[in-house]
Amino acid sequence: MQLGTRWTSGDVPPAAVPAELHQAIGDVDAAIPGDQLGQPRPRWTLTWLEGKPIAELDTGVIVSIDATGRPVVRHDIDDEFG
């Protein structure tokens, strides 16, 4: 696995983030409720596994690319309790 980059939810993804992930990441960011208590926004981490990009939010939401090249959004709890 190769570490990519980190950025704050709601910010424009860095140039290192493949364009195929941008819309799905934006959709996830838009679904996060605003914090009225001043808590920091969660952060995304981009990693590469076997040459494929994986963006994971601190909350456990994962955006990746499926075998057909389409972005997939899932939550890490899906893997445990699927």
* pLDDT, tens only, 7-17: 999 999 999 99
Please tell me the predicted confidence (pLDDT) of residue 79: 54
Q: d(Cα 73, Cα 5) in Å, to the nearest integer?
A: 19
**For the whole prediction, is pTM greater than 0.85?**
no
Q: Specify the pLDDT at position 78.
A: 55
pLDDT over threshold 50, residue 26: yes
Q: What's the pLDDT score for residue 32?
A: 85
pLDDT in tens, 38-80: 778 899 999 999 889 999 999 999 999 999 999 999 987 655 4
What's residue 28's pLDDT? 96
Nearest to 17 by CA among 71, 59, 78: 71
Q: 3-class SS at 77?
A: helix
